[in-house]
């Protein structure tokens, strides 16, 4: 049974959230709704009710969530996110929670923008996708593409920028597909957002290569705005055409290289990240080598490697799995190469001076900043959110670099 959030009015609530940026933005929406209902957000021990915002994209996450659900089975438990949309029976095998449909969260929340701690905001531009990937359960949970209206998105960006957000993340299951259901296109949206007053930069979320190909040239042009980070998350999944065909991804490996080369020709320092799945059913050693070579050729920075995980209800679930040992060996090989490329990219910044803006704080005495290419620059000083200055990059720590402020920069906020 799906409930309304009125059931939680006035309670102390603990929320645990998993999954992508889109899912965590739903959690921010949920927190705002609960606060409006007089709820107090608290830790698990003090809570009258527990909400788990679930993700089911891979088996490992599913298993972890099931353990957490079992741990809270004797509590007043609520579940939302992707799992109850496609795996309600599995959830009820370990607990008997009440279900909060994600659509209910969106119905009760105003606008499409949420604010995270620091100078980071998130705007959910669309849910669902236009793909038919044979292994993906998320498309079954979230359905077909539903784009938010452009005026709602632009207003959300305007409000977040006015509230002090410098980094504004546009998120969805496939950001590049935004507008296809409305007869509009992402480059047009980006141009309109770039005209919004204020000092901010957009970090665009993951984009399916097939969707990018439809809008490649105007999208590259749109990245020319100072209000767009030179960062592209392009999930490739495989560098083998035969595997891509079995995955039903809708493009060839050469198409991805066309995208990468077109962006880098215009923006040589651009950070392009990717996702790969190793050990997809039937993947041969030769096909895996094609993927490894593809990673090397594309030189993706910050690569997410996932061992193939069978998901219920998907066409690929009927295929025979490769041995876990094979999947593990291949994932480690890709990760090693991805780490080497990450280091190589960061090393190109050593000794260079770059603009930075302070967006987060992860440890006392230091500040996380971003440069125009979304490089993660840690300054070993306490800087106010929104601080704008210049730094010289001095050290590479792979997932971040160390920068030293250029003397003479003030410590004011943007």
DSSP 111: S
What is 5-105's CATH number? 3.40.50.360
Cα angle, residue 96 at apex, residues 95 and 98 outer, rounded to 5°:
130
Reduced to 3 states (helix: H, G, I; strand: E, B; else coil), residue 188 is helix
Q: What is the pLDDT of residue 103?
A: 87
- Pull the structure tokens for residue 88: 């309600």
Question: What's the pLDDT tens digit per position in 269-292?
Answer: 999 999 999 999 999 999 999 999
Residue 157: CA count within 13 A, CB half-sphere: 31
Q: What are the Cα distances from residue 380, in Å, to 150, 167, 267, 359, 377?
A: 39, 20, 29, 14, 10
Residues with Cβ within 8 Å of 80's Cβ and at least 6 positions away in sequence, in order, are 26, 30, 51, 52, 53, 54, 99, 100, 101, 102, 105
What percent of the chain is predicted at pLDDT more than 70? Answer: 97
| Dist. CA 80–CA 89, nearest whole Å | 14
pTM assigned to the model? 0.91
- For domain 353-405, give the CATH superfamily: Nucleic acid-binding proteins (2.40.50.140)
Confidence of residue 1 (pLDDT cuts 50, 70, 90): very low
SS3 state at 373 = coil
3 state SS of 196 = coil
Would you list the DSSP string of 3-61? Answer: --GGGGTT-EEEEEE-SSHHHHHHHHHHHHHHHHTT-EE--TTT-SEEEEEE--SSHHH
- Residues forming CATH 2.40.50.140 domain(s) in the chain: 353-405
Domain 112-347 = CATH 3.80.30.20: yes
Locate CATH 3.80.30.20 in the chain: 112-347
Give 391's Cβ-side CA count (13 Å radius): 30
pLDDT at 413: 45
Q: What tens digit of pLDDT does each residue of 238-248 get?
A: 999 999 999 99
Residues of the chain within CATH 3.40.50.360 domain(s) are 5-105
């Amino acid at each position: 049974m799906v409930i309304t959030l009125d059931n939680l009015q006035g309670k102390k609530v603990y929320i645990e959230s998993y999954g992508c940026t889109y899912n965590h933005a739903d959690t921010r929406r949920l927190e705002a709704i609960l606060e409006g209902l007089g709820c107090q957000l608290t830790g698990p021990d003090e809570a009258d009710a527990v909400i788990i915002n679930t993700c089911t994209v891979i088996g490992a996450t599913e298993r972890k969530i099931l353990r957490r659900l079992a741990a809270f089975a004797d509590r007043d438990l609520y579940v939302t996110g992707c799992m109850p949309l496609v795996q309600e029976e599995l959830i009820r095998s370990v607990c008997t929670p009440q279900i909060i449909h994600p659509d209910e969260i969106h119905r009760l929340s105003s606008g499409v923008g949420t604010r995270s701690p620091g100078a980071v905001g998130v705007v959910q531009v669309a849910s669902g996708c236009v793909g038919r990937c044979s292994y993906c359960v998320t498309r079954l949970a979230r359905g077909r593409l539903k784009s938010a209206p452009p005026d709602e998105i632009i207003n959300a960006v305007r409000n977040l920028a006015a509230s002090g957000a410098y980094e504004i993340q546009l998120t969805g299951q496939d950001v590049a597909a935004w507008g296809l259901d409305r007869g509009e296109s992402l480059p047009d949206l980006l141009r309109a957002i770039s005209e919004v007053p204020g000092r901010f930069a957009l970090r665009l979320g993951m984009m399916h290569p097939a969707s990018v190909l439809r809008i490649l040239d105007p999208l590259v042009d749109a990245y020319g705005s100072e209000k767009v980070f030179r960062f592209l998350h392009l999930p490739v999944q495989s560098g083998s055409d035969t595997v891509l065909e079995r995955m039903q991804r809708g493009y060839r490996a050469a198409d991805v290289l066309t995208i990468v080369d077109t962006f880098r020709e215009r923006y040589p320092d651009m950070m392009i990240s990717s996702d790969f799945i190793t050990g997809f059913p039937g993947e041969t050693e030769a096909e895996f080598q094609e993927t490894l070579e593809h990673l090397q050729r594309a030189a993706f920075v910050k690569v997410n490697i996932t061992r193939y995980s069978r998901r219920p209800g998907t066409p690929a679930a009927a295929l025979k799995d490769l041995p876990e040992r094979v999947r593990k060996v291949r994932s480690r090989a890709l990760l090693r190469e991805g780490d080497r490329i990450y280091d190589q990219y960061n090393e190109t910044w050593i000794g260079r001076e770059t603009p930075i803006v302070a967006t987060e704080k992860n440890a006392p005495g230091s500040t996380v900043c971003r440069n125009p290419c979304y490089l993660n620059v840690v300054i070993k000083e306490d800087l106010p959110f929104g601080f704008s200055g210049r730094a010289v990059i001095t050290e590479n720590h792979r997932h971040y670099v160390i920068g030293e402020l250029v003397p003479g920069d003030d410590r004011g906020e943007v």
